[in-house]
Every structure is written in C-alpha cells, then in structure tokens.
Amino acid sequence: SKSTTVNALEQENGVLKQERVKFRSYESFKDSFDDYVAFIKNNARYEKVVQKAGNATEYLTELQKAGFATDQHYADKILGIFHSKSFNTLINKALNNIP
C-alpha cells in the first residue's frame, strides 16, 4: 500500500517529541476506513477493542490500552471530538443528505 512520511508528535514516557513517522495513504476515505477496519479486526492485539465496538467510550479506551496511539490521552481527545456540537452537527447534516 502507499504511504507518506510526516512530522508527528509522539509521546514516550509522558514526554512529547517530534519524529518522522510513516503513515499509510489512500485514494479515498472509503479505502482508508476499510483498511482501518481490516487492521483492527485481523490483529490479535486489538481483540478486546473489537469486542467493544458497540460502545464508543469502551472501544476508544481499549484502543488506547492496546497501544494504538502513543498519546496517553488519546481516548479522551477522540471522545471530546465525538461528543462535540460541531461533530454532531456535521453528522446530522450528512445523515440528512443520504438518499
């Protein structure tokens, strides 16, 4: 698969440091999402994560515990976005535009 390398802040032992990190790149959002789902479902490291797919808080907490991101506050940050008024407004607009 294609990839790109970018500067990213990674956290190690509570200390943030900038590193050059390789990320996968995709032709579409759908391709990205499909690869993410396959990655999580097919990796034993994330078995508990998959079991919590029905609950956003538990899912993100398990994802953080499994080491998906180096940020110690990853789950809280994503949940903050998930519960934000802006995000929910965008979701409602998208749902209203589905034929």
- Active-site residue, 58 included: no
Contacts of 16 (CB under 8 A, 6+ apart): 9, 10
Catalytic: which of 19, 35, 47, 76? 35
Q: How far is CA 68 from CA 32, 62, 65, 92, in A?
A: 16, 9, 8, 28
Catalytic: which of 10, 34, 47, 76? 10
C-alpha to C-alpha distance for 72 and 32, rounded to whole angstroms = 24
Nearest Cα neighbor of 57 from 86, 39, 77, 32 is: 77
Name beta bridge partners: 20. 7
- Active-site residue, 31 included: no
Which residues are part of the catalytic machinery?
10, 35
